[in-house]
Amino acid sequence: MLAPVEEIFCDIDDFCKDFFQKESVHILPNPLRQRDRSSQMSLSEIATINVLFQMSHYRTFKDFYQDCILRSMNSYFPDALSYTRFVAIQASALCMLSAYLISKAGEHTGLYYADSTTLTVCHNKRIHKHQVFKNIAARSKSTMGWFFGFKLHLVINHKGELITFCLTKGNVDDRKVIPQLMKNLKGLAAADKGYISESLATQLQQHELKLITKVRSNMKKKIYSAFEKFFLKRRGIIETIIDQLKNLYHIEHSRHRSPINFLMNTISALVAYSWRPNKPSLKTINHQAILCPVIQN
């Protein structure tokens, strides 16, 4: 395991202590009066293990937990639970880990990219037999064909840092979630042709955010500045990030056994990406040197 285990755990543990110190005042008592016993493992350890799994080369969490956590990394987690017990209680860290992901959001640089990707939860031939996400996921069609599952909508800055995200059913239009995702952003945002909408561009412009996209073959060409053209051509950065989330991490697979574990897996993958040291980014140190050939032509 090449990940900085101690650094990740300490950062999550510090946030966890501060989170519950502030939020404990607002937590309502349990009306069922069940025992609220603390687990043998802390929420920080549970969250850390889920994040470390996303950074590992293992494809299944069971193999990772039994081989790494219970054996080779036993010195880091001496009070590790059995695999069955850990899976049963790992959802208790979802709320804290979600808040931690928000705290890891990147800085507002004024340069953003937006895109979405599909999260397939089962093969198309098994849709009618699928029960885990019945009446939750939806069937839709993307550029890669039909799928059954969800959509992950992402907004990043030009440094490759995650700004905000949301999950929707697979049949939700990408343009519907953009106003909510970008409501606090100002500057310039680039997206693909799926976000073409005059009303959406006008709505974002009112909040001092300019949305630029490529045009379809039957549309008139839009007039963009030299930097806007340069920025739009580098939109592949967010596609590279999506590719990393699906191939280097485990954000998409068809082995989920509950919706809560699906959310835990998605949040953990995004947290793991936020710890990535070398993110795909746009080098904008010297705009003039980059744009001079474009302006002269």
200-214 pLDDT per residue, tens? 999 999 999 999 999
* Burial of 214 (C-beta count, 10 Å sphere; 0-12/13-18/19+): middle
pLDDT band at 40 (very low <50, low <70, confident <90, very high): confident
Q: What's this model's pTM, rounded to 2 decimal places? A: 0.89
CB contact at 8 A, 201 and 178:
no
The residue with tokens 């939700």 is 172
Residue 276 scores a pLDDT above 90: yes
Phi, then psi, of 173 in degrees rounded to 5: -65, 135
Q: What's the confidence (pLDDT) of residue 10?
A: 95
Q: What's the confidence (pLDDT) of residue 273?
A: 96
Q: What's the confidence (pLDDT) of residue 237?
A: 95
Taking residues 111-124, what's their average pLDDT?
A: 94
Q: What is the bridge-based pairing of β-strands 145-157 and 138-142?
A: antiparallel
CB atoms within 10 A of CB 184: 11
Q: What's the confidence (pLDDT) of residue 31?
A: 65
The residue with tokens 């969800």 is 150
Percent of the chain surpassing pLDDT 70: 90
Q: Closest Cα partner for 164 from 107, 213, 206, 209?
A: 107
Q: What's the confidence (pLDDT) of residue 21?
A: 80
Name the DSSP letter for residue 72: I
Q: What's the confidence (pLDDT) of residue 19?
A: 86
Name the DSSP letter for residue 159: T
18-32, 103-117, 234-248: range with lowest mean pLDDT: 18-32
Phi, then psi, of 45 in degrees rounded to 5: -65, -40
115 or 215: which leads in pLDDT: 115
24-28, 137-141, 202-206: range with lowest mean pLDDT: 24-28
Residue 107 scores a pLDDT above 90: yes
**Beta carbons within 8 Å of 119's beta carbon, 6+ residues apart:** 149, 150, 151, 152, 167, 251, 252, 266
Taking residues 2-24, what's their average pLDDT?
A: 87
From residue 275, give the alpha-carbon distance in Å to each of 143, 147, 148, 249: 30, 30, 30, 12
Taking residues 81-99, what's their average pLDDT?
A: 92
111-256 maps to CATH 1.10.10: no
Taking residues 50-78, what's their average pLDDT?
A: 92
- Element containing residue 36 per DSSP (H, E): none
Percent of the chain surpassing pLDDT 90: 70
Domain boundaries, the chain: 5-26+39-103, 111-256
Q: What's the confidence (pLDDT) of residue 25?
A: 65
CB contact at 8 A, 86 and 46:
yes
* Burial of 116 (C-beta count, 10 Å sphere; 0-12/13-18/19+): buried
Residue 294 scores a pLDDT above 50: no
**Beta carbons within 8 Å of 189's beta carbon, 6+ residues apart:** 112, 113, 114, 155, 182, 204, 209, 210, 211, 212
